[in-house]
Structure 1
Amino acid sequence: MIEAKEGERWRKKYKIGVLSDTHMPRMAKALPAELLKGLAHSDYILHAGDWSDWSVYEALKEIALVKGVTGNADSGRIKEHFGSTELFEIGGLRIGIVHGHGTRGTTESRALKAFEGQKADCIIFGHSHIPLIKHVGETLLFNPGSPTDKRRQPLYSYGVLEIEDGRLEARHVFFRDKKV
């Protein structure tokens, strides 16, 4: 659990859906029903890149406010709309998003390096398709996995962040079937 520093302001409880590596339409023609059900009633949806198609953004923005970044499989309209990193505040906590691709180091180390010298309470990243919740110092590293391309993982996944009274809790949601 991460907590906002005393004196920082927040206004309510937030539910934040987190996903990455949708790779649509190659890995799925539409977002899985299990994912859409889990994202319902989210205040924000964060996407850590490799959307692959603008339709993913269009579908997600019907649910909640969407923030995201580009990944190595993104092009066109996605690259025009989103940058490679995003750092913003929700509920008194600073959240960074990056895809995590590159040539040197691990995906985790590249995610951390993307926000070097900046305060980030939580860094969300993707690229590896491997779900991860890990603390590095005072920073929570969070990879939601993929809801459409599990690769060598046993289950599809996405993440949920909950912020209440300046406290951050992260969890994965795993599911077996990506049917629509």
Structure 2
Amino acid sequence: MRLLLTSDTHVPKRARELPGELLESIERADVVLHAGDWVDTATLDLLEARSRRLVAVYGNNDGPALRDRLPEVARAELGGVRFGVVHETGPAQGRERRCAERFPELDVLVFGHSHIPWDTAAEGGLRLLNPGSPTDRRRQPYCTYMTAVAAGGQLTEVELHRLPPRRP
């Protein structure tokens, strides 16, 4: 099962549209996981139309229209791997412990908010993944998203993709 992980798309606040490379990858994925901060419902509509399956949450920049359509926390079993998706996890210091305590039933937690790619594991084995942002790199050198494969209860081929700089 091919997965695409993204977050913090911030359209049209940070970009007028999603990068073409991201849209092409969405169409190749079996499941898209989006960890919030959509900003507009048109982007949610676009991903719902283009993806085979969407597992998504709202973020702190998402207003009532998005909060009416999306949960704060989403869970899904994909390829035998138990996923959770949430926007915010708090400060980096102590993140693994906090998330493992909050989500003991999960194998993988996908989160966003910081725009900083993250791939670590908590002491008990919970893997934490932040795909960064495909539209707003903040203090990072690149805009990013992730892909992975979930099959047979294992998460493999986790890859951080760097997007080319946007044209002004």
Structure-1-length-normalised TM-score: 0.83
Q: Which residue of 2 aligns with 1:144?
A: 131
Q: Give 1:62-101 correspondences, 5 Å limit.
A: 62-64=49-51, 65-100=53-88
2: distance between equivalents of 1:108 and 1:160? 25
Q: Is the 8 Å Cα contact of residues 34 and 178 (structure 1) preserved in structure 2?
A: no
More RCO (CA 8 Å, sep 6+): 1
Quick check: 1:109 aligned with 2:95?
Answer: yes
Q: Which residue of 1 aligns with 2:113?
A: 127
Q: Is the 8 Å Cα contact of residues 95 and 124 (structure 1) preserved in structure 2?
A: yes
1: distance between equivalents of 2:58 and 2:83? 16
2: distance between equivalents of 1:111 and 1:21? 24
The Cα of 1:76 is off from its aligned counterpart by 2.0
Q: Which amino acid aligns with 1:49?
A: G
Q: Which residue of 2 aligns with 1:24?
A: 11
Q: Summarize the Cα distance change of 1:107–1:161 in structure 2 as closer, same or farther, 3 Å threshold.
A: farther
Q: Summarize the Cα distance change of 1:110–1:70 in structure 2 as closer, same or farther, 3 Å threshold.
A: farther
The Cα of 1:98 is off from its aligned counterpart by 0.5
Mean CA deviation greater in 169-178 or 49-58: 169-178
Q: Is the 8 Å Cα contact of residues 57 and 66 (structure 1) preserved in structure 2?
A: no
Q: Is the 8 Å Cα contact of residues 20 and 47 (structure 1) preserved in structure 2?
A: yes
Between Structure 1 and Structure 2, how many residues are aligned? 164
Structure-2-length-normalised TM-score: 0.88
Q: Which amino acid aligns with 2:108?
A: C
Identity of aligned residues (%): 34
Mind listing any 5+ residue stretches in structure 2 that lack a counterpart?
Answer: none
1: distance between equivalents of 2:35 and 2:20? 20
Q: What do residues 111-158 of structure 1 show as CA deviations (whole Å, max 9, x unaligned)? A: 944862531100000000001111112111000000000011111100
The Cα of 1:95 is off from its aligned counterpart by 0.2
Quick check: 1:57 aligned with 2:44?
Answer: yes
